[in-house]
Structure formats: structure tokens, C-alpha cells
């Protein structure tokens, strides 16, 4: 298998991103056996850039955690190019805190999520979401991360 993963970090947000070997490891885990050759570019951006891209490409206001841009290559052209993943470091940190997850686990989840979108998975329909979420959970489990979609258990005191 040959994977080419280019990583570009915009330090304007002041947020730290995972080290490139971790990013590559998580993306390769998502690619698994599905693609023997793949080229992916990852750009880690500020909230301002994420908001601009989200508005331009999805018509939605504000920054978002991850955007995936699959390569638009005709089926008859053989190319390893899968596309681009754009991740907002600020949003990933905020969500990790809000969801009581480790920052590392949430980064892994977002990179795997973005990669699966490049492979054609989606979550618009409930049946598609179930398939994608199960696959994300399996991949993250193999990487020793907890399931991403389980809410934390909050213990309550009985009177």
C-alpha cells in the first residue's frame, strides 16, 4: 500500500495540531484495505477560515469541525487522488471539551470521519449514518480509542 498524505497547518488559530505521524496513522487506519493507493491533503485551519469554507461550499454559517472535499475525477481515470480534508483546530478542541473526550481521541475521530467521506461514506440518511458510525467506532476501537458516539455516563446520587 502506498499512501501520500500532505499536511498543512495554519498556525493563525494558535491551536496545536497533532504531530504528522499521528495524523498519517489515523488516516491510514481509515483507508485500511479499501484503497491500496491514496493521496490525501489535510489542512488544519483557524475558525475564520473554516467559517469561510463552510459558508462558501455548504451555505452554512460559522466554523465546523471537519470538511471533506472528494476529488472530482471521472471513473475512467485511474488516480490515487482521494481529495482534501479541512479541520478546524479550535472547533475540535471545543467539541472534545464539551463531549468530555480526550483531544487526541477527537482528532483521531475527525480525521477518520473526514477520510471516510473521501471514500464515499455519508450520514445524511439514517441508514448511511448507522453504517458510517459503526465503521468509525470499529476503526477507533482498533486504535484503542473509546467509541465516539456513546454519551458519557453521569452518575446520580440517590436520596
Q: Give 105-136 pLDDT, tens digit per residue.
A: 999 999 999 999 999 998 888 888 889 999 99
pLDDT at position 33 is 75
For 108, the grid coordinates are 483521531
Q: Which residue has the higher pLDDT, 16 or 115?
A: 115
* pTM for this entry: 0.89
The distance between the two most distant Cα atoms of the chain, rounded to a whole number of Å, is 67
pLDDT at position 34 is 80
The answer to whether 114 touches 136, Cβ cutoff 8 Å, is: no
The mean pLDDT of 60-82, rounded to a whole number, is: 92
Integer CA distances (angstroms), 114 to 27, 28, 154, in order: 9, 12, 29
Cα-Cα-Cα-Cα dihedral of 7, 31, 148, 69, to 10°?
50
**CATH for 2-142?**
3.40.390.30
The answer to whether 84 touches 40, Cβ cutoff 8 Å, is: yes
| Sequence spans of domains, the chain | 2-142
pLDDT band of residue 32 (cuts 50, 70, 90) is confident
Amino acid at each position: 500500500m502506498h499512501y501520500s498524505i500532505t499536511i498543512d497547518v495554519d498556525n493563525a488559530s494558535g491551536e496545536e495540531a497533532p504531530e504528522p505521524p499521528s495524523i498519517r496513522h489515523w488516516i491510514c487506519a481509515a483507508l485500511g484495505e479499501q484503497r491500496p493507493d491514496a493521496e490525501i491533503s489535510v489542512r488544519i485551519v483557524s475558525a475564520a477560515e473554516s467559517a469561510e469554507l463552510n459558508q462558501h461550499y455548504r451555505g452554512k454559517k460559522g466554523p465546523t469541525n471537519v470538511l471533506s472535499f472528494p476529488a472530482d475525477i471521472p471513473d475512467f481515470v485511474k488516480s490515487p487522488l482521494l481529495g482534501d480534508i479541512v479541520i478546524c483546530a479550535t472547533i475540535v478542541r471545543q467539541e472534545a471539551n464539551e463531549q468530555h473526550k480526550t483531544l487526541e481521541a477527537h482528532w483521531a475521530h475527525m480525521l477518520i470521519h473526514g477520510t471516510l467521506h473521501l471514500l464515499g461514506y455519508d450520514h445524511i440518511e439514517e441508514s448511511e449514518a448507522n453504517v458510517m458510525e459503526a465503521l468509525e467506532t470499529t476503526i477507533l476501537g482498533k486504535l484503542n480509542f473509546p467509541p465516539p458516539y456513546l454519551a458519557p455516563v453521569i452518575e446520580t446520587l440517590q436520596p
